[in-house]
Amino acid sequence: MTPTMTTAARLAGLPAGLDLAAADGEALHPEAAAESPLSIRGLTVSYGEKPAVFSVDATFPDGALSAIIGPNGAGKSTLLKAALGIIPRLSGEVSVFGRPIDAARARIAYVPQRASVDWDFPTSVLDVVSMGLYRRLGLLRRMRSEERAHALACLERVGMTDFADRQIGQLSGGQQQRVFLARALAQGADLYLLDEPFAGVDAATERAIIEVLKSLRAEGRAVVCVHHDLSTVESYFDHVFLINVRRIAEGPVASTFTAGNLQATYGGRLAAGHIEQLRLGGGTA
């Protein structure tokens, strides 16, 4: 949050992660260094004997929209869930803004796949959004009026204010996805991790979601999406991470989202014609 400090540290010729301010015991957090919002080292996940994600390194940039891309079963969602500790990992380290993930959970917002929950659950839209306030409210404190107003403001950002009192099962798929995004907004995080946010939503919802994600980027937050629609990668994202069990490539969209890298990621599953339709420049990376 205070990039100047890092600059100071760099000027002083100190190694990364070792700040003078922190050494002085000032109230500045070490994670304020310009560390990557999400850095993954040697992550391996296995269902049974076959690895789903194998020894993956990834570094996502701050203040940018990043996409995790790969074919079905390539381990996109698995990578995200294992990084968050939702599913167990065999090995690997994950740091968030330079700190171990468990020390940085307050700075992370997570949007699971819509199909991962039971929408028949007896709860209202506003109730789901206020689940994003849990870390602030704790076990027993009642929601104050300003916290309620904050939850309503988050619903407003996704255009769902009118549905605040609806039971969540009475929403369309796109509306449910927006409610999940509103809950993540209520978390007030610096890093947003979204699992297939555009899957099975209507066009209006897709536009609404990408507008919100772009406004988060404008506020300097980092956004990482598991994404499956290759045709929107260039218009939505700044950074891509290509995965097929192993890391294939990562970097800025312009230089990394190339026909060659896609061929390497999808293998025979993506016909040359599809890649042609994307009108990508450049050959192999």
**Does the protein bind another protein through residue 110 (CB under 8 A)?**
yes
Span from 144-152, 172-180, 236-244, 247-255 in contact with another protein (CB under 8 A): 172-180
**At a CB cut-off of 8 Å and minimum separation 6, what does 218 contact?**
none
Query: Using the rule CB under 8 A, is 117 a contact of another protein?
Result: yes
Q: Which residue has 């996704």 as its token pair? A: 158
Round to whole Å and give the CA distance between 278 and 49.
36
- The strand order across the sheet containing 91-96 reads 50-60, 38-47, 91-96, 99-100
Q: Residue 158 burial by CB count (10 A; 0-12/13-18/19+): exposed, middle or buried?
A: buried
List the interface residues with another protein, window 176-235 (CB under 8 A): 183, 187, 193, 202, 204-205
Distance CA 258, CA 245 (A): 19
Q: Which is nearer to another protein, 146 or 165 (CB)?
A: 165
Query: From the CA atom positions of the chain, what is the Rg in Å?
Result: 20
Of the listed pieces 56-64, 90-98, 103-111, 268-276, which binds another protein according to CB under 8 A? 103-111
x/- track of binding to another protein for residues 33-72 (CB under 8 A):
----------------------------------------
169 binds another protein (CB under 8 A): yes
Give the DSSP per-residue string, 201-259: --HHHHHHHHHHHHHHHHTT-EEEEE---GGGHHHH-SEEEEEESEEEEEEEHHHHS-H
Site for another protein in 135-154 (CB under 8 A): 135, 137, 139-140
Site for another protein contains 11 (CB under 8 A): no
DSSP code for 138? T
Q: Which residue lies nearer to another protein by CB, 24 or 102?
A: 102
SS3 state of residue 140: coil
| Subset of 72-91 contacting another protein (CB under 8 A) | 81, 84-86
Name which position in 116, 215, 255, 277 contacts another protein (CB under 8 A): 116
In the complex, the residues that contact another protein under the rule CB under 8 A are: 81, 84-86, 102, 105, 108, 110, 112, 116-124, 127-128, 131, 134-135, 137, 139-140, 167, 169-175, 183, 187, 193, 202, 204-205
